[in-house]
Structure 1
């Protein structure tokens, strides 16, 4: 993912005070006063939350926040509380209705606490008295401050407290058993909200069909009933069906230290009015919301997760420019049920072997107006500017914040479909967007394709009192991950959520199950999955496994899961929990993206200052582009050997326990011993735990990477061949194969490396195959300006713009790759044992090895046979600009022939590949991948 458009978040009110207060007691506001001797040089700031309230009788205090030279035994701590806020200070004292002494515990925090909260390992334990512990639930509804006094009773520190752990201790065991949002019984709805720190919750309802902005004064007000588990509920009449509603919550705002009344949508909203101003009471089982095709069409079944061949697609991209789609359906859910160029192309891919479409975020987001009349268009004739002009991106920036396009990684409501993809503003209102979303799913199923939804539970678009904030206005300070000072962490880009907290974990699990059960989708991709724990991902898996065809209309065990297993931020290296990151999901059948093969195929990395660093499929060592980033010839040759190892390992499913002779060292080496930027390259226990890819929505498209890295004089026909060669490393990998939409069509985003908010113009996806999107101007300056000096001469070169016949040739070659992958189970063995038994790289690290060439053998005579037609396969990847003779040790005297798929395919060059039986050697044309088969 990439950062969504910036969202204005209200700054917290500063409550910092240093020095001596005035004689009169007053609120803790930002008033600078003269230094005095009555306080030490500590931190008096209630806008922070350095203390952590762990359990009713236990708090944690950071050891590094002690006065210099003092031991804990000589210090004094107190917790102060005020039911309605307004804590003030007089001298060394905080003025609050109640204060409780806290006792330092020499034994430290219990092991159970440190197991659950490992980031508290350097914290002190403070014991709370019974009078505090028994009133914890009530105290948590008000303002809380914790003070530290030195051995002379001087106030050293005053801070707030992080409350999520104690809320979980008090309420989670029972609260997680509830169903939240709207549930139905005998035709009547019950609405339930978890708000344990609220003083009062009132349900505001407006009749079905009323204006989305109807005044609050016209709402019917229903007092909600609190429960001891921290939830509030109200049961309504039958007439509440399709009613609009908000929760009105009286809750303490930690930023101001005062009670405020928030009117907020339901975190469990499943339907909304346009622009998410009100939640809507809907019954997801209502037959009126079930299109016939959605009910009847069935997706293809998979035997194993490695059977997936995935196409990553943005909903708007799919049809925004498709002239065969009705105008009011373009860029919407309904286009997937139309007979446009996109549907025709997806069906052609499905016929070749593609079986899964991965949709970028389709839940409710903040970044796109759902009222169609509010969506703006660039006020320029973009086609009038030169291919290398700055003007296109300059014009687009005028409307980028209000146009119809965004990737959608800015979550607003996790359980509701996004309204901007509805066919009209009216159909974005309430339940109709649900029906249209299901129409999309039904259309894809009818095209022979499974549906994977991109889920973004790692952050929200806003927090605090900002308008798009929901969770933090219901239970302030609970749903987001805080740093040591109580500030919300933003390592993901935005307001990081804390799925390690029980009710955020539940929200993630419940939302995922809802999409599976109520929309019949077939898989999920988790954005920045490494910011979630392994236990959370296992909880998702367990909950999905409970879904059955008989009870739920879907087999949850068949649902596939994968995500971004990156290790960074405040959770890095398991700082908060065992992360769902690369190498830590063994045995879960949850996959992570394999960046090792991606970088080796493309060359360099996504954040290189010089984007011309070459790789296996971009001319490294054998067709240098002249960039100094590639090093001298010796350095290039050495890097090519290492990148060959990374690709070979990726072809073997990136297994940590797979051993092969290294091209770099010539010695047998286990995958876990191959280096990738100082980390083990091999990390998977099973091949289904890796997603093999060479491009995705993030970073430059494959075509654009080739454009930047190949020598500028490379012919278009050779660029197509290298595109096919790069895609073949995913198609013939034992992992899950993944392509970015349009990778088969030479798709370009005019070299844009982060097109999340670059509009329809730079995100063009033309399934009519007339325009690949290259040369539409310099990409937006925000993420690309540093690369403009490299990009401008390329965009100006007309030789680099594919013609329609070039796009068609690339598409046909890519479909042959799909046919090959799905022609035999040997490319999808599914188990580490089978891969270790059958897959080898006979020439690697031997005198037979040819630089820039990989020879992969799949021998079905070893281990239990999996293909009744074939004894084996030899695949030769020739990335060099010359034909090669590649001997395959151990194959002398064995018969093989070019695959019938390639022999009858659309590429005349690969048909020249031959097999020398006597020598056991393949003759393969330049920049070609050839598949030789051995029949039984």
Structure 2
């Protein structure tokens, strides 16, 4: 009770004082108030003055005393982040160099300052990390002193705890058991040297000090362990020379000791035994899990087996029983984290690709598979490519493909499908029969490997498929049974077999430059950060997807080469189109070409000669179109002729030189009639051979040609726009190189103006066969141009030398003041490439109105016209025996004698 009474009295006294103070402030005289106010303001002014006079003093030591051109970059981080400024070291002390920076004058009263020590104009940084200095604490001179040591992240506030003894400045891992180090000071046998992997001390058996004492050779008691995230080399327990485990990925050591060149990655199956081998060089543990089914939502484990570490970073397991039809995954432990992954070399998978499948691949072969071969094909320039999405071919009701085959691989096996317009009575072929009737040589399938973006359990999903999941597995949504991995393999083979039996070769669109998932991809879980390019701790985004693969690393390169070889041998694929091929290095693509040549030199390879964004892969290593001459036998899309045609020539006759460049196959060709009187090589040339130029005007990317023409010439009559469309691919189909057509362009395909339909519904993407019936005359025109190319080798010259020998642009004078800028004309001469026709004349008019071309000065004789603005083919439409010839607006003339 006494204590409570005292507390009440104290509380009452406090309240009296508080009330008294409040009353005093309200009623005191000005002087008294001023005294209080002055006292308070005086304190604030002193703080401000103290802060304003504050000076930051930075002491910096470089171990070998090389201070030339080293300076500081400082910026205000708090209270507000601001731009930075360069500062110089202005004096020296016993420690090293010194910089003094008055904070009020230079850094706006900063309370936290960012600091980078750099050389010159950002030629080099001392350390990669940004560091920060708090400026609250000052000494008696109102100064903030910090000490920095070369190569060390720590910021010291005094010298008391600073280790100034010898440090490791550089290291080299010479072999699995030998590391050499360099130091900033002499060392002796009295100095203790340690190598730590994570928290584990890696046993050093012997230390051999260099004769000059400025380093040593360390001999390890066992093989260097690559499984740690971080490594540190310490002397006398000092702050260590640190390096990331993944920094070793690009070293010769890593390749020498961990590159596996065997051909048995994945599963090697026999009826009595299945052997598993997976490359996971930094894993600490690996388990094989076998399942009865392929649905990852079910817990149906068959058995789990510990895998054994084997040679060159691989892990192995063998199961002595027939595992055909079982599914499997690996459980890999890296840096203490365990993940379940699908084998990158898996040959099939369960629904949605979450489990690999073990297969006796012989059981997946269709009847007479080994007797089925592709149509004979020798010269790559003989190809005519038709780009097609698997689902688009058959999903529309007018395809009249069986319902169970619509949107599937099996749609390519159904023959005899047609569509009839009941109002007009016009009947047209659909599906496979349409492709065969058109006469193209190669069907280019958009990604048909297993990709991540659709749910295979549903039948209403659409995606182009440029997000790879399992690179060596057919896509399950195109299978009639996505749950059974055996079915997708068999049906893919049936599709290929059917096209081969109908004289059509098959090209796969392959996407090795990125994966669908990145951090969570199977590849990254197996070997963290190895398969990808990483810049400053971030995934490089040269693909536009954030997951750019590193083809220059040997095991990534091996995976790409192994994969195309597998598709070419197991599925008899006849060509590969590489997405964003410039993200691959030149050596990788040369190895791809060489590996395929060993299988079949007629396999065609081409790709996009550009990237989707910035990449750390050096420019000179990229398979850009300008470097394609360094990759013989590989082609690139010719965006010069593409832009020339769709963005000028077919509408107005503009951009003639871009078009002419594509017509000669992008080679170094001199044209005396070029308006600039130059060789094309002065501005353009990149192909060493016509086959390296994939000539096209549209593909799956961007708008269809019909939609693009509508956007640029929608004011024109439909009949005029149709002539523009026919003109565009008249040029493509008669140019030197390899022509490439977007499926449906032959009947004015539309996507309702959508320029990026990668995930839009079937209503936008599907081929509408009633449209073919409506515009069948356009289809017949394309069909005639393809027949002309197939039957006349003059349009398929095989070398640069042949083009120069047999090809001539002609200088055209027309009866229009500006006509010479609107018409392209050339001849193919002297039975070019063994052609039956001695001379072929080709004229293209990009102008709105007809043009009469004066031929007298250059050509004479009787000409047989086989192509005009309405009809194309090899049959004679007209005979011209005159000094001039008339070409319709947006029209083509091809004649021979």
TM over 0.5: yes
Distance, in Å, in 1 between the alignment partners of 2:186 and 2:742 is 59
Match of 2:5 in 1: none
Task: Give deviations 1:823-852, integer Å, cap 9, x for gaps.
Answer: 210000111111001111111699996221
Match of 2:827 in 1: 857
Match of 1:728 in 2: 730
Match of 1:596 in 2: 640
1:822 matched to 2:790? The reply is yes
Q: CA deviation at 1:135?
A: 5.3
For the Cα contact (< 8 Å) 2:268–2:275, is it kept in 1? yes
1:298 matched to 2:373? The reply is yes
Q: CA deviation at 1:449?
A: 0.8
Q: CA deviation at 1:230?
A: 1.0
Q: CA deviation at 1:292?
A: 2.2
For the Cα contact (< 8 Å) 2:540–2:616, is it kept in 1? no
Structure 1, unaligned stretches of length 5 or more?
Answer: 1-16, 20-28, 62-70, 88-94, 106-125, 253-258, 376-402, 548-555, 604-614, 621-639, 675-680, 771-803
After superposition, the CA RMSD in angstroms is 4.0
Q: CA deviation at 1:236?
A: 1.6
1:249-398 superposed matches below 5 A: 249-252=332-335, 259-284=336-361, 286=362, 288-292=363-367, 294-323=369-398, 324-339=400-415, 340-341=417-418, 344=430, 346-372=432-458
Structure 2, unaligned stretches of length 5 or more?
Answer: 1-111, 115-128, 136-144, 155-168, 420-428
For the Cα contact (< 8 Å) 1:902–1:911, is it kept in 2? no
Q: CA deviation at 1:351?
A: 4.0
Q: 2:691 aligns with which of 673, 688, 693?
A: 688
For the Cα contact (< 8 Å) 1:849–1:886, is it kept in 2? no
Match of 2:327 in 1: 244
Distance, in Å, in 2 between the alignment partners of 1:737 and 1:512 is 23
Match of 1:65 in 2: none
For the Cα contact (< 8 Å) 1:571–1:579, is it kept in 2? no
Task: Give deviations 1:84-108, integer Å, cap 9, x for gaps.
Answer: x4x5xxxxxxx97789999999xxx
Q: 1:646 aligns with which of 658, 661, 664?
A: 658
Match of 1:536 in 2: 588
Distance, in Å, in 2 between the alignment partners of 1:837 and 1:104 is 70
Report SS of the residue matched to 1:347. Answer: helix
For the Cα contact (< 8 Å) 2:864–2:877, is it kept in 1? no
Change (3 A) 1:898 1:156: same
Q: 1:915 aligns with which of 871, 875, 880?
A: 880
Distance, in Å, in 1 between the alignment partners of 2:133 and 2:723 is 72
1:173-192 superposed matches below 5 A: 175-185=260-270, 187-192=272-277
TM-score between both structures, scaled by the size of structure 1: 0.71
Report SS of the residue matched to 2:392. Answer: helix
Distance, in Å, in 2 between the alignment partners of 1:148 and 1:930 is 79
Q: CA deviation at 1:177?
A: 2.5
Change (3 A) 1:196 1:500: same
Change (3 A) 1:750 1:929: same
Report SS of the residue matched to 1:854. Answer: strand
Q: 1:928 aligns with which of 886, 891, 896?
A: 891
For the Cα contact (< 8 Å) 1:841–1:856, is it kept in 2? yes
Match of 1:404 in 2: 461
Change (3 A) 1:328 1:497: same
Change (3 A) 1:348 1:263: closer
For the Cα contact (< 8 Å) 2:541–2:615, is it kept in 1? no
Match of 1:617 in 2: 650
1:364-513 superposed matches below 5 A: 364-372=450-458, 404-426=461-483, 429-464=484-519, 466=520, 469-483=521-535, 485-494=536-545, 495-513=547-565
Change (3 A) 1:928 1:457: same
Report SS of the residue matched to 1:537. Answer: helix
1:722-871 superposed matches below 5 A: 722-769=724-771, 805=774, 807-843=775-811, 850-860=820-830, 866-867=833-834, 869-871=836-838
Change (3 A) 1:542 1:31: closer
Q: CA deviation at 1:75?
A: 13
Match of 2:304 in 1: 221
Report SS of the residue matched to 2:858. Answer: coil
Task: Give deviations 1:543-572, integer Å, cap 9, x for gaps.
Answer: 22222xxxxxxxx22211111111575557
Moved more, 177-186 or 700-709: 177-186
Q: CA deviation at 1:194?
A: 0.7
Q: CA deviation at 1:283?
A: 2.3
Distance, in Å, in 1 between the alignment partners of 2:724 and 2:239 is 72
Distance, in Å, in 1 between the alignment partners of 2:251 and 2:193 is 14
Match of 1:786 in 2: none
Distance, in Å, in 2 between the alignment partners of 1:18 and 1:454 is 52
Change (3 A) 1:60 1:601: farther
Distance, in Å, in 2 between the alignment partners of 1:54 and 1:753 is 52
For the Cα contact (< 8 Å) 1:534–1:578, is it kept in 2? yes
Moved more, 297-306 or 340-349: 340-349
TM-score between both structures, scaled by the size of structure 2: 0.73
Match of 1:165 in 2: 250
Report SS of the residue matched to 1:545. Answer: helix
For the Cα contact (< 8 Å) 1:297–1:445, is it kept in 2? yes
Distance, in Å, in 1 between the alignment partners of 2:616 and 2:879 is 50
For the Cα contact (< 8 Å) 1:532–1:580, is it kept in 2? no
For the Cα contact (< 8 Å) 1:164–1:477, is it kept in 2? no
Change (3 A) 1:924 1:335: same
Aligned residues: 726
Task: Give deviations 1:748-768, integer Å, cap 9, x for gaps.
Answer: 111111111112122121134
Task: Give deviations 1:727-765, integer Å, cap 9, x for gaps.
Answer: 111100111000011111111111111111112122121
